[in-house]
Structure 1
Amino acid sequence: MGIAPDIFELDDDDQLHITSAVPPADREEDVRTAIAQCPRAALTEHP
């Protein structure tokens, strides 16, 4: 979330929400980094 806060956000119940189903091209690398560094390993990338 901290790496791409414009794409991922947490609500008050600590639930992750994705704000954009398809991230802008200039944010793709940050999204991949966020997925790789997710402390709960809860994120995956799908083509």
Structure 2
Amino acid sequence: MKIFEKKGATLIEYAVLAALIIIVAIAAIRVVGQKVSQKFSTVATSL
């Protein structure tokens, strides 16, 4: 009996890759969201 089968290893690799993509996406959304919030505050103040 094999400890790691190719299917299982591939599934784990895809799961890790998906997790990394999600983490990067969340970080990017947070940064962009903060920048947009600052711009809206600037515009609201100038009005």
After TM superposition, the score normalised by the length of structure 2 is 0.30
Q: Which has the higher contact order (CA 8 A, sep 6+)?
A: 1
- Structure exhibiting the larger radius of gyration computed from Cα positions: 2
Q: Which has the higher helix share?
A: 2
Q: Which has the higher strand share?
A: 1
After TM superposition, the score normalised by the length of structure 1 is 0.30
